[in-house]
Structure 1
Amino acid sequence: PNVGKSSLFNAILGEDRATVTSVPGTTRDPIDEPITIKGKTYLFIDTAGLRRKSKIETKSVEQYSVKRAVNSLQRSDLVILVMDACDGITRQDQRIAGLAIRKGKALVCVFNKWDLIKNTSTERYEEAFKKKMYFADFCPVIFTSASKKKGIDQLIDAAEVSLESYAKRIPTSQINRILADIIALNPPPGFRGKRLKIYFASQEDVCPPRFSIVVNNPTLVPFGYEKLIKRIIRQRIYHFTGAPIMLRFKGRR
């Protein structure tokens, strides 16, 4: 709350659609607003800010607002996580980013109120982001000032790139060529005398990009090897900027 989310929402729309005050928690019900950008129409949803559960009173208006905000996340394709540049990255920011990724949503992270930051650089914030948000290192990081309407075009461009990645489909032949290289350079590990064998991969779906990989035994796939495959897919095939990659390992029939 109070990171300038509604002010940023209004800056994107070019009008005062959401209520803006200095009091945290002003936005209660999600506000849906369609906007056409470069001939494409998007539905923007301004939701309530999300505080930690321990700070929210049970059966309060804020608790109701938070539930509505989470429901809005569920029905979205892209989450724009707005953070207060004056506060840096908080534990709650990390939780919300993690939730968006687990739900398979494209993600753009924004440091708002950048006009209030002195004697530092965007590079230092980006480095801090890589350390604290290592699990979301595929996301664009944008710096904005809603009050001065700075960084809005960059934010919109990042959202468009992320949505394009979110709907990207990769040819099966290309995936399997890269998979063969991964196996050759980084042979699948063994576990308790059993060795993982990888046979074939294909893309099952988009929004988010989902890949299925046929193996001899899905339980033999360690988390580290899954992360390796995702990283090399991004490096060698397509960056999938702003979009999570989902892998499903399944046994051979």
Structure 2
Amino acid sequence: MASPIVLRGGGAPTVTGDHPLDNAVWAALTGPHAHLAERVGRAARYPADVYAFAALADPRDPAAWADLHALAGDGTTVRIKPVENAPDGWEITGGGEGVQLVATEEFRTEPAPEAVRLGPDDVPEILDLVARTRPGPFLERTVLLGTYLGIRHRGRLIALTGERLRLDGWTEISAVCTDPDHRGKGLATRLIRAVGHGIRERGDTPFLHAAADNTPAIRLYESLGFRLRRRSVIVSVRTPGTSGGTGPL
């Protein structure tokens, strides 16, 4: 294996710090989402149809990368965060920068009486809305990660927000999207507040991730009372070897 991972970030916490949000995917897969985890030693991932990310206990540890190779197999593409470099023999196939925001006391939560709880039977509609609005990854079984709420208009799903990563004491709000024909009505705000209400009711603190260049989304979250905690690098890497990896995990 190669030299240790080097992380940039202008003083941002390292992924091996004391705070679970520093390595949120790992904290979820070894915490409240452990029942969903596929794991080998110091590497873990969600099932490919649940959430397209893997995690390392410490990206600076060559043994963790060896465990990820054993878990994923040869020649397989894996998405992972927060890391920036990969060891020798691993190919970086893509990447980007994300931001993490956490709720402050200014974030006001409340139920949304018009919202309905979504489940597996609603997945076709959810996937259709996600395809049209592109809020981020949402797969066939992502709905199993937590509570998803939607708003319908004349029976059609027009807005969606839910829970994704869940750590001890923290839950991520995700999949915030609204049909283009129904934007400007405050639907996203109402759903974010409603999902946040459920998170706080069980004693967790809400947090969010967004692409660093998604300025409109970040502006909305900050207006609701979320504050930037850190920036991190997301990469897609291909494991060493030439076997039949069929696509990103």
The alignment's TM-score, normalised by the length of structure 2, stands at: 0.27
Q: Which has the higher helix share?
A: 1
Q: Which has the higher strand share?
A: 2
The alignment's TM-score, normalised by the length of structure 1, stands at: 0.26
